[in-house]
A and B are shown apart, each in its own frame.
Chain A
């Protein structure tokens, strides 16, 4: 269900995407990278560009997984608890567990039954 339109169009020299090739601000990405650690001193020009794509893919994946939880709850509005549930149910998002449980106060949406989601990677 990945939207291939925008970026594959650009890669193939087709219609430019509505959001432009960098939908995320490069300077901000670079700032966040620098904050990640003391030994991050020099960042090549291409690294934020690569990240803008990676972040987009990340947002898409987490959003889609969260939406699955929303649908299970027969709702049409994606809530942060759905995002939290998607994080809990996906191995590669383990690094986010602390963050989403902090913001949730340790609670998850009642509809989030991770055993009914097949989200293995």
Chain B
């Protein structure tokens, strides 16, 4: 069964993330493979990279550990989303938003995460506000789909180095004003 490029420690570079071409293998861990696995888990290359960055340079990570981490993250997402969704349900709201996620994280014991995330979310909202104020098209960030994911991947490697939040990647407009930051 092909492991996909992402599982090799030497090639965990940025080249592994063009999901369009390699989606079939990049996300598949051992086991049944195929579409179900891909939908259920985050890509092993991304997960592996985050792990690698937090560890000392001489550290090695077994493939099984990365796979286990993939499963853990998906479980984490489900767990937190479930809690946030329950809250929305109780409050008769239909849409789970960023604040609900922050609330759920805090409730479930991940309060250390809340502060960095609130700052991140605030920055994102400010950027969205800027874009709306400058008269560009409405943010299309709500319609995250496979195409946006691809564009996001391609966008990533064109980083201007200006430190802009690359939410532009999910935009469909290419207004130069959106690159102000």
Partner-B contacts on A (CB < 8 A): 1-3, 6-7, 9-16, 18-33, 35-37, 39-51, 53-64, 66-67, 70, 76-80, 82-84, 87, 91-93, 95-96, 99-100, 103, 121
The interface residues of chain A lying within 8 Å CB-to-CB of B120 are 7, 11, 49-50, 53
Majority secondary structure, A binding face: helix
Q: How far is the CA of A43 from the CA of B82 in the complex (A)?
A: 12
Q: How far is the CA of A110 from the CA of B123 in the complex (A)?
A: 45
Partner-A contacts on B (CB < 8 A): 14, 19, 27, 38-43, 46-47, 49-51, 53-55, 58-62, 64-65, 67-69, 71-82, 85-86, 89, 94-98, 100-102, 105, 108-110, 112-113, 116-117, 119-121, 123-125, 139, 141-146, 148-149, 152-153, 155-156, 159-167, 169-170, 181
Cross-interface CB contact of B81 among A18, A33, A92, cutoff 8 Å:
A33
User: Are B117 and A50 within 8 A (Cβ)?
Assistant: yes
User: Are B144 and A45 within 8 A (Cβ)?
Assistant: yes
With A37-B81, A96-B72 given, is the CB distance from A30 to B144 under 8 Å? yes
Q: How far is the CB of B123 from chain A (nearest CB, A)?
A: 6
Q: How far is the CB of B124 from chain A (nearest CB, A)?
A: 6
User: Are B160 and A16 within 8 A (Cβ)?
Assistant: yes
The interface residues of chain B lying within 8 Å CB-to-CB of A26 are 144, 148-149, 152, 170
Q: Which 6 A-B pairs have the closest CB atoms?
A: A45-B142, A20-B156, A92-B109, A36-B78, A45-B141, A44-B97
Q: How far is the CA of A37 from the CA of B80 in the complex (A)?
A: 11
Q: Identify which of B65, B110, B113, B160 gathers the most chain A CB atoms within 10 Å of its CB.
A: B65
With A63-B51, A78-B62 given, is the CB distance from A47 to B96 under 8 Å? yes
With A3-B53, A32-B78, A67-B55 given, is the CB distance from A99 to B62 under 8 Å? no
The interface residues of chain A lying within 8 Å CB-to-CB of B167 are 21, 49
